[in-house]
Structure 1
Amino acid sequence: MRMKTFLIASVFSLAAHWAHSAGLKSFDIPADAHSPALKAVEWSPCAAPDGEIKAGPFLLPGVRNCPIDGEKRPLIVISHGFGGTNLSHHDTAEALANAGFVVVAMNHPDDTAANEEREHNLKALISRPTDVKRVIDFMLGSSPDAGKIDPKSIGFFGFSRGGYTGLVLAGATPDFQALRSHCQDKTGATCTPVSQNALPKGTLQHDQRIKAFVIADPLSSVFSAPGSVKNVTAPIQLWGSQYGGDGVSPENLQTVAHNLPVKPDFHVVPNSEHFAFLTVCPAELVKILPELCIDRPGFDRAAFHQDLNKQVVTFFKTHL
């Protein structure tokens, strides 16, 4: 749930190379009367030869502004964790694009890496699901690629607070009274409750256009009550780390998995901690961000992501 203030977009490198390039474009989704513009990245099936795009200190496989290959492509929206960006899971986006999906990831303005005030409020827990709705509205409406997307085939991938976002979009009702202040306890179990004045307020956005969800190590303490997920009936592939961390508790996730009315495709990743779901760090950045980049002894993040991405692609192909 919580990350350093470093810009993750300039931190993470590719976990694996895929058989073909993904088309890659960056754009802003315009502000509206209530919310700022959303900075987005789109990956899509591309028929052009393999290429590379330099983005800061690393190279991404892809072809910039490549026309979408094919028609009626399913759409996947990716939601990053606290302090992340639209590139935090780019290896998963690339795998999906290579498999025929159009994928869009946005920066959530209220708690993306560039927002220096993000640690001082919790309003992102209200605004995040609305951010995703705005992305879908844009991609089906004003986007130049709208005609290439199948509006009946929309999926979602979210990690940490992004996983929370997906559960809300799917119909869950969080109990914000269960929120805990950040402290040194890796699971958050002994952290003090958030003060009443700091609890987020506002209407939560659900979105029935999303037909399938991949939820990875979500902020799940707010969904411990059985009734909080009773309205979640869409297919869910649920991923959890064995040891959690950063306020995310494996025990809470087990509770959510048990309470979901439709049994999820549930995977607990052996010997993993919370940040294993972030894409692999290049060697030079392991020294700078060890808490995000170094896994438990014996855990191979690159190999895990190959399996994760394969299973995510299979899940979405099955349900979309």
Structure 2
Amino acid sequence: MFTRLLALFCLLLVVTSSAYPASAASGFREMTIPGTASDHPLHLSLWYPTGADTEPTRLGETPAFVGLPVIRDADPAPGPHPLVILSHGYGGSWRNLAWLASELVDRGYVVAAPDHPGTTTLDMGPADTVTLWKRPTDISRAIDAVLGDTTLTGGIAANRIAAIGHSLGGWTVVELAGGRFDAEGVMTDCLAQFGALYCKIFSALGVGRDPAATAALGADLSDSRLGAIVTLDLGPGRGFTPQSLAAVQIPLLVLSAGENIDPQTAQRAGIAATNKDSFYLAGHLPSATTQFTLVAGALHFSFMQLCKPGAAALIEEEAPGESIVCRDAAGANRQSIHRQVSDMTLAFLARALATK
């Protein structure tokens, strides 16, 4: 799936300028976190409140996808601000949840979104793809970078930090909450447990390829600075041990697509049964601190950015089979789905971080 989708993004990844009311715009900047002997360089996108009145541009505007107003490199409004880190799905990028970043900034949050090397749209190098355990550390490194430089954001409230992830990004943020992934168990009779598609994805991600990778994936990758977690139709979730999920101590909001894509379409598109993963997660997390909701009308890609009218046909022409990224359930409207998700997320974070 994502090989074809990469070609699509390369064709359509054109940012254009357009006037928006200045009051509707977020500050926005991009930076690179330097690599180390053990960690890759990390591209990081930042959205933040600003009082600047410079004419904004549309970020991420393409022939297929709707862009959002930002003022590049604007001076940040004084903090301290709460911080949310976003984690994209397999083959995605920071652009996928930019719509949610904009909503969060409107409520005073700073938002940071790393591109995960090896599993991001323009960087699917096999050497990084198979180091899945580095995804959670990407988030921790992003927190380090943002906390370490107040000039980037106007200052962060270090006791009010949350993380939100879609699809494989949901797996990533559960790791940060204390979930422990049992790679050996997942790969034992994988076909019977998960089905051929999931096993193919696991293989591409290097799950269970050797004892060192299994140990790295099973290690404690949590980050105690996080006070709340939101998952958006996560996958894989069923590889987390029930014991580790039961021991998670911070609040989680588990949002799942309320509708399932038919199996044949899912198989062609390379989408696993993530609905089962959300149910599994919610069933093993502490009930007192977990909120689980099926999002009506949502399919797996409904949590991504808005598609323009005619986008599905354009995408199908450029990358046959990939128009599924613009599909929602019959009769559903993605803008309305986004409103549901945004409202639930903002209310949850307000409660979870209120006393932090």
- Same fold, judged at TM 0.5 (above): yes
2:225 aligned partner, one-letter code: R
1:203-218 mapped onto 2 (5 Å cutoff): 203-218=219-234
Between the aligned partners of 1:266 and 1:164, the Cα distance in structure 2 is 16
Q: 1:48 aligns with which of 39, 45, 52?
A: 52
Aligned: 1:66 with 2:99 = no
1:60 deviates by 2.7
Aligned: 1:317 with 2:354 = no
Between the aligned partners of 1:311 and 1:143, the Cα distance in structure 2 is 29
Between the aligned partners of 1:116 and 1:206, the Cα distance in structure 2 is 25
Equivalence for 2:30: 26
Secondary structure at the residue paired with 2:164? Answer: strand
1:306/1:150 Cα in 2 relative to 1: closer, same or farther (>3 Å)? Answer: same
Q: 1:81 aligns with which of 75, 84, 89?
A: 89
Q: 1:278 aligns with which of 290, 299, 304?
A: 304
TM-score (norm 1): 0.86
1:11 deviates by 8.1
Equivalence for 2:162: 155
Between the aligned partners of 1:281 and 1:11, the Cα distance in structure 2 is 15
1:210/1:192 Cα in 2 relative to 1: closer, same or farther (>3 Å)? Answer: closer
Equivalence for 2:290: 264
Task: Give the stretch that moved more between structures: 237-246 or 126-135.
Answer: 237-246
1:172 deviates by 0.6
Unaligned runs of at least 5 residues, structure 2: 188-192, 316-321
Equivalence for 1:10: 13
The total of aligned residue pairs comes to 313
Q: 1:99 aligns with which of 107, 112, 121?
A: 107
Between the aligned partners of 1:106 and 1:232, the Cα distance in structure 2 is 24
CA shift digits 1:84-107 (9 cap, x unpaired) = 111110010011011100100010
CA shift digits 1:11-62 (9 cap, x unpaired) = 899xxx9963111111111112211211111101122336224556364312
Secondary structure at the residue paired with 1:88? Answer: helix
Secondary structure at the residue paired with 1:35? Answer: coil
The answer (yes or no) to whether the contact 2:31–2:43 under 8 Å persists in 1 is yes
Equivalence for 1:184: none
1:116/1:109 Cα in 2 relative to 1: closer, same or farther (>3 Å)? Answer: closer
Between the aligned partners of 1:179 and 1:119, the Cα distance in structure 2 is 21
1:270/1:147 Cα in 2 relative to 1: closer, same or farther (>3 Å)? Answer: closer
1:120/1:211 Cα in 2 relative to 1: closer, same or farther (>3 Å)? Answer: closer
1:87/1:272 Cα in 2 relative to 1: closer, same or farther (>3 Å)? Answer: same
Between the aligned partners of 1:178 and 1:313, the Cα distance in structure 2 is 36
Larger radius of gyration: 2
Aligned: 1:236 with 2:252 = yes
Between the aligned partners of 2:162 and 2:185, the Cα distance in structure 1 is 28
2:75 aligned partner, one-letter code: P
Between the aligned partners of 1:130 and 1:97, the Cα distance in structure 2 is 24
1:278 deviates by 0.8
TM-score (norm 2): 0.78
1:252 deviates by 3.0
Superposition CA RMSD, Å: 3.2
1:170/1:120 Cα in 2 relative to 1: closer, same or farther (>3 Å)? Answer: closer
The answer (yes or no) to whether the contact 1:235–1:319 under 8 Å persists in 2 is yes
CA shift digits 1:63-88 (9 cap, x unpaired) = 11122213210111000000011111
Q: 2:209 aligns with which of 182, 197, 201?
A: 197
Q: 1:249 aligns with which of 271, 274, 286?
A: 274
1:140/1:177 Cα in 2 relative to 1: closer, same or farther (>3 Å)? Answer: same
1:181-196 mapped onto 2 (5 Å cutoff): 189-191=195-197, 193=199, 196=208
Unaligned runs of at least 5 residues, structure 1: 181-186
Task: Give the stretch that moved more between structures: 96-105 or 62-71.
Answer: 62-71
